[in-house]
């Protein structure tokens, strides 16, 4: 392998792929970056066996080939170089010479045969999503993702693709968030897959610059492509809770409320919902009252004028979960639906945003 | 009939091989195995062979990319774990394994976890793993390895299918060593005697000049014991201990090379080197214990050789290179003296296992053997 590449581009590319480098010491190959030179480009790949990142950049390839180089060390070396062309050349079976201007380094390399292979995806399971859409979908459900490894399936986000509808669902069993968006093109097969929450939350950060993200579902992995990068994550296995069954279709009480007003009020009243004290929601006539009380500290309440339908109700929630749900949406108005102090309350978008946020009640 | 596959490397475990081969081809493997067998009986190789059989498209051909990567330890869906704590598995290790079992495999249809030294699960780490052991996801196979069933926590052992490995017979071991590295039968027998019959350790032993020299020194001491005075014996024990420490330098050189290589690869982030340094420390102390153990094994095998020769069965002698000295000793040491000397060897083993200082244990063993074999022959 012999190639030259602009130092700045190589460094940018290394900064992308070093995100998936493993610190696991049992498999040294995982602390390496697979560098493959083909045609007039260079592909950099890294993996920690949970996520993989591949990044392609243009380069002058004089001799094609591939090699695994120490990731962090290579990044440090390239960072230290002046802004000029960097030459990489395999100098023996386990060494690569890095030269730039008058500097030269010899780094050890490992065999590319041992590097884990990238998955293939069949075309029927591929779709294109505008990056902004994906970003807002993830943002609307990510607070409901569980961080508790005791139930691994809940640390993931369920993605359901049906025709042109992409639905994402997350729940930590105390609340459940659903968000929907329309895809530009329909997908042939109905797809349901659970993606690790942490991995999916990385995509908007990485794909920020690209207009669209292409998503492919392979048997074991989900592949995201954007710009010149590919990001792969393993699926979480197991059955995701049946979210349709959990969400009530209708309720005795229905309120339409300004989301920002309710969020502001909830945050203020929450200040006196300490030590897990509940945040009480009371609906009667055209008033929604939020109140909280912490023993030996004090109490707070705030009234909002709202449009109500149906019966009056008093119900209580965990204040942080309520604020999370309100902060997850961008809607101007949300509908609040509830049936009984013992059944979950639901916030739903009033326009086509496709946002549903369900919270389990607590004892008032 | 000479269809070679991944099971061929397993010698002397016909029952285990036919059982595992059958269950892998018939699709009747279970989710959790406990492989039980003495050191060197092939548990690790069998675990890798089972992984090949389950993941290779040809049922374990031994030559495809999947099989070769499994054997090299670089296939992403076959993970090998060993205790990372001072002597036990860490709870974090158990959590890491559990987390991974819930993800889809990277390449293949299954994920296989090989957990070496299953006796090193303390209750905390074991508890974390119990649920996974009992009902792992469908595409998970856990293979736990141990030298003795009794030493594994019952909560773990009871959730696994136990597969027992037979000790490998000496003649099989000698043949295997000849096949694997062209060692002659005399050298192989001597090395097996020194390493307690563990083939990989015997091969290591042969490739270490300093360890062979330590054995030679001990054989000389055993020959000369009857004419040595107290000071000579103390001096000999001191020398033997020094010679046991010498091979540690070989280990250190290798460890330093590994550390250098890792620093090149991981950069100088201290945190990432800590586990390797910890492992090196464990390795060094294990190696030192092994060296002392080798001395005791050599003494024990020398006494057995003397007994065999005295009993008219010189073909059983393991230390062929010392056959003349052994014959000479056999002609003047009686049965009861030999039995007492053999007791001295067992006593030394016991002391070492109770953490008596190695120096004291070896000194005591030499004095006891000396007393046993030089006391006046009894009038039986
Ligand atoms: Zn194969």
CA angle B111, B114, B117 (to 5 degrees): 160
- Tokens 């009794």, residue? B150
Q: Among A96-100, A215-219, A354-358, name the one with the lowest average pLDDT.
A: A215-219
Distances (CA, A) of B326 to A248, B72, B322, B369: 89, 43, 6, 15
Judged against a pLDDT cut of 90, whether residue A285 lies above it is answered with: no
Asked, for residue A364, whether it belongs to a domain, the answer is: no
- The verdict on A104 and A150 lying in the same domain is no
Q: Band of the pLDDT at A26, cuts 50, 70, 90?
A: low
Whether chain A has a CB inside 8 Å of the CB on B272: the answer is: yes
Q: Are A240 and A193 in contact (CB under 8 A)?
A: no
Is residue B261 one of the residues assigned to a domain? Answer: yes
Residue in A closest to B69 by C-alpha: A114
Question: Rounded to 5 degrees, what are φ and ψ at A141?
Answer: -110, -10
Q: Which runs of consecutive H residues, i.e. helices, occur in chain A?
A: 7-17, 71-80, 131-141, 197-207, 243-246, 259-270, 319-328
Residue B333: helix, strand or coil by DSSP?
coil
Do residues B238 and B309 both lie within one domain? yes
Q: Do B39 and B117 share a structural domain?
A: yes
H-only helix segments in A217-349: 243-246, 259-270, 319-328
Widest CA span of chain B, in angstroms?
Answer: 75
- Residue A264: strand, helix, or coil: helix
For residue B260, tell me if it sits in a domain.
yes
CB contact under 8 A, B102 and A28: no
Please identify which residue in the block is written with the tokens 């009056």. A312
For the cut 60, the answer to whether the pLDDT of residue A93 exceeds it is yes
What total number of domains does chain B contain?
Answer: 2
Kindly state whether residues A189 and A206 are assigned to the same domain: yes
Name beta bridge partners: A222.
A217, A233
Is the CB of B102 less than 8 angstroms away from the CB of A237? yes
Q: Which pLDDT belongs to residue B5?
A: 83
Assigned domain for A177 exists:
yes
* Same-domain pairing of B214 and B363: yes
Query: How does residue B378 score in pLDDT terms, banded at 50, 70 and 90?
Result: very low
Residues A269 and A355 occupy one common structural domain = yes
- Supply the pLDDT for residue B271: 54
Residue A24 belongs to domain with CATH number: 3.10.150.10
* Segment B158-214, tens digit of pLDDT: 999 999 998 888 888 888 888 878 889 999 999 999 998 888 889 889 988 888 999
Residue B363 lies in a domain: yes
Nearest CA-CA partner of A108 in B263, B255, B251, B274: B263
Range of the domain at A282: 247-359
Residue of A nearest to B74 (CA): A114
Q: Does B339 touch chain A (CB under 8 A)?
A: no
Interface test with B, best of A73, A121, A150, A233 (most B CBs within 10 A): A73
Q: Do A265 and A205 reside in the same domain of the chain? A: no
The residue segments making up the domain with residue B68 are 14-168
Mutate to test the interface with B, among A18, A26, A120, A233 (most CBs of B within 10 A): A26
Strand partners, A281: A290, A315
Co-location of A83 and A130 in the same domain? no
Shared domain for A98 and A155, answered yes or no, is no
One domain, residues A231 and A128: yes
pLDDT score of A266: 96
Q: Is B189 part of any domain? A: no
DSSP-assigned letters across all residues of A128-139: EEEHHHHHHHHH
Same domain for B70 and B152, yes or no, is yes
Among the partner residues B74, B105, B137, nearest to A29 by beta-carbon distance: B74
- Does residue A64 fall inside a structural domain? yes
Measure in Å the smallest separation between the Cα of B185 and chain A Cα atoms.
36
- Better pLDDT: A178 or B243: A178
Burial class (CB in 10 A: 0-12, 13-18, 19+), B27: exposed
Asked if B269 and B237 touch (Cβ cutoff 8 Å), the reply is no
Helical (H) or strand (E) element with A284: strand A279-284
Four-CA torsion A9, A14, A20, A25, nearest 10 degrees: 170
Q: With beta carbons under 8 A apart, name residues in chain A contacting B107.
A: 116-117, 119, 220
Q: Are residues A42 and A134 in the same domain?
A: no
Residues B54 and B131 both lie in one domain:
yes
Please tell me whether residues B155 and B95 are part of one structural domain.
yes
Given B144, B168, B192, the domain boundary residue is: B168
User: Which residue in A26, A108, A220 is closest to B265 by CB distance?
Assistant: A108
Q: Which of A200, A231, A197 is nearest to A214 (CA)?
A: A231
Q: Is residue B183 in some structural domain?
A: no
Q: Do residues B136 and B221 share a domain?
A: no
Pair (A27, A94) in one structural domain = yes
Using the 3D structure, point to which of B116, B137, B168 is the last residue of a domain.
B168
Distance from CA of B17 to the nearest CA of A (A): 28
* Domain match, B219 and B120 both: no
Q: Among A82, A114, A146, which residue terminates a domain?
A: A114
| Confidence (pTM) | 0.80
> What confidence score (pLDDT) does residue A63 get?
95
Q: Are residues B219 and B358 in the same domain?
A: yes
CATH code for position B67 = 3.40.50.300
Whether B324 maps to a domain, the answer reads yes
Q: Based on the number of CB atoms within 10 Å of its own CB, is B54 exposed (0-12), middle (13-18) or buried (19 or more)?
A: buried
- Strand B32-36 versus strand A298-305 pairing type: unpaired
- Please count the structural domains in chain A: 3
What is the arithmetic mean of pLDDT over B306-318? 91
Q: Are residues B154 and B257 in the same domain?
A: no
pLDDT digits (tens, 9 = 90+) for B263-277: 766 666 545 677 777
pLDDT more than 70, % of chain B: 95
Tell whether A27 lies on the interface with B, counting CB pairs under 8 A.
yes
Same domain, A228 and A281: no
Considering CB atoms only, which of B81, B95, B104 is closest to A234? B104
Distance CA A285, CA A288 (A): 8
Cα B5 to middle of ligand 1, angstroms: 8
In a domain, A141, yes or no: yes
Within 8 A of B83 by CB-CB distance, chain A residues are none
User: Could B106 and A29 be called an inter-chain contact, meaning their C-beta atoms sit closer than 8 Å?
Assistant: no
Give the sheet arrangement for strand A32-38, strand by strand.
A65-70, A32-38, A41-47, A51-58, A229-234, A221-226, A212-217, A126-130
For residue A86, is it within any domain?
A: yes
Return residues 59-88 of A near B (CB < 8 Å): 70, 72-73, 76
* Same structural domain, B151 and B286: no
Pair (B282, B141) in one structural domain:
no
**What is the rounded radius of gyration, in angstroms, for the C-alpha atoms of chain B?**
24
B362 in any annotated domain:
yes
Domain boundary among A114, A134, A160: A114
Q: Does pLDDT of A151 surpass 60?
A: yes
* Residue A184 and residue A99 in one domain: no
Q: Are residues A351 and A279 part of one domain?
A: yes
Domain annotation covers residue B139:
yes
Burial A235-256 (b: 16+ CB within 10 A, else e): bbbeebeebeebbeeebebbbe
């Amino acid at each position: 392998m012999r190639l030259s590449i602009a130092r700045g581009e190589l460094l940018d590319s290394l900064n992308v792929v070093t995100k998936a480098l493993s610190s696991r010491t049992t498999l040294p190959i995982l602390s390496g970056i697979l560098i493959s030179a083909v045609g007039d480009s260079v592909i950099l790949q890294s993996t920690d066996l949970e996520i993989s990142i591949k990044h392609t950049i243009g380069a002058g390839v004089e001799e094609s080939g591939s090699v695994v180089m120490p990731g962090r060390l290579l990044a440090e070396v390239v960072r230290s170089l002046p802004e000029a062309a960097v030459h990489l050349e395999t100098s023996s079976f386990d060494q690569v010479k890095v030269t730039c201007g008058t500097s030269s380094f010899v780094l050890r390399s490992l065999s590319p045969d041992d590097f884990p292979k990238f998955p293939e995806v069949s075309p029927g399971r591929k779709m294109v999503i505008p990056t902004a859409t994906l970003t807002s979908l993830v943002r609307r459900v990510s607070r409901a993702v569980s961080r508790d490894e005791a139930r691994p399936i809940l640390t993931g986000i369920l993605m359901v693709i049906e025709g042109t509808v992409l639905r994402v669902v997350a729940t930590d069993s105390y609340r459940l968030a659903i968000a929907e968006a329309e895809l530009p093109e329909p997908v042939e097969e109905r797809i349901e897959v659970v993606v690790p929450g942490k991995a999916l939350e990385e995509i908007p950060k990485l794909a920020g610059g690209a207009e669209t993200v292409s998503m492919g579902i392979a048997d074991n992995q989900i592949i995201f492509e954007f710009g010149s990068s590919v990001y792969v994550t393993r699926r979480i296995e197991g059955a995701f809770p049946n979210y349709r069954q959990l969400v009530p279709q209708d309720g005795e009480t229905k309120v339409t409320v300004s989301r920002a007003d309710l969020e502001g009020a909830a945050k203020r009243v929450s200040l006196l919902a300490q030590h897990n004290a509940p945040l009480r929601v009371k609906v009667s006539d055209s008033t929604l009252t939020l109140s909280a009380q912490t023993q030996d500290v004090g109490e707070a309440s705030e009234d909002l004028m709202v449009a109500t339908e149906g019966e009056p109700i008093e119900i209580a929630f965990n204040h942080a979960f309520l604020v999370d749900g309100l902060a997850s949406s961008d809607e101007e108005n949300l509908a609040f639906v509830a049936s009984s102090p013992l059944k979950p309350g639901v916030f739903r978008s009033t326009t086509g945003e496709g946002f549903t946020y369900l919270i389990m009640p607590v004892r008032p | 009939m000479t269809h070679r596959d991944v099971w061929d490397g397993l010698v002397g475990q016909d029952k285990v091989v036919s059982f595992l081969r059958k269950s892998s081809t018939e699709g009747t493997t279970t989710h959790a195995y406990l492989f039980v067998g003495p050191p060197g009986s092939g548990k690790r190789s069998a675990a890798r062979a089972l992984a090949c059989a389950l993941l290779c498209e040809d049922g374990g051909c031994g030559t495809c990319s999947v099989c070769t990567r499994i054997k090299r330890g670089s296939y992403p869906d076959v993970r090998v774990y060993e205790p990372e704590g001072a002597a036990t598995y860490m709870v974090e290790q158990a959590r890491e394994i559990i987390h991974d079992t819930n993800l889809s495999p990277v390449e293949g249809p299954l994920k296989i976890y090989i957990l070496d030294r299953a006796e090193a699960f303390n209750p905390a780490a074991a508890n974390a793993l119990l649920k996974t052991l009992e009902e792992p996801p469908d595409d998970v196979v856990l293979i736990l390895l141990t030298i003795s069933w009794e030493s594994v926590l019952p909560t773990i052992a009871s959730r696994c299918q136990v597969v027992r490995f037979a000790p490998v017979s000496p003649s099989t071991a000698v043949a295997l060593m000849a096949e694997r590295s062209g060692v002659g039968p005399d050298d192989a027998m001597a090395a097996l005697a020194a390493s307690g019959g563990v083939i990989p350790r015997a091969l290591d032993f042969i490739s270490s000049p300093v360890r062979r020299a330590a054995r030679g020194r001990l054989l000389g001491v055993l020959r000369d014991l009857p004419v040595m005075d107290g000071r000579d014996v103390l001096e000999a024990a001191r020398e033997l201990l020094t010679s046991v420490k010498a091979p540690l330098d070989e280990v250190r050189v290798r460890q330093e090379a590994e550390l250098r290589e890792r620093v090149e690869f991981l950069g100088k982030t201290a945190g990432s080197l800590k586990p390797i340094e910890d492992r090196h420390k464990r390795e060094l102390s294990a190696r030192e214990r092994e060296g002392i153990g080798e001395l005791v094994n050599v003494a024990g095998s020398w006494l057995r050789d003397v007994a065999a020769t005295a009993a008219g069965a010189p073909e059983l002698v393991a230390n062929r290179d010392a056959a003349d000295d052994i014959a000479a000793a056999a002609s003047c040491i009686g049965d009861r003296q030999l039995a007492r000397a053999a007791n001295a060897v067992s006593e030394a083993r016991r002391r070492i296992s109770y953490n008596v200082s190695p120096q004291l244990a070896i000194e005591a063993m030499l004095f006891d053997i000396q007393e046993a074999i030089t006391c006046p022959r009894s009038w039986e």
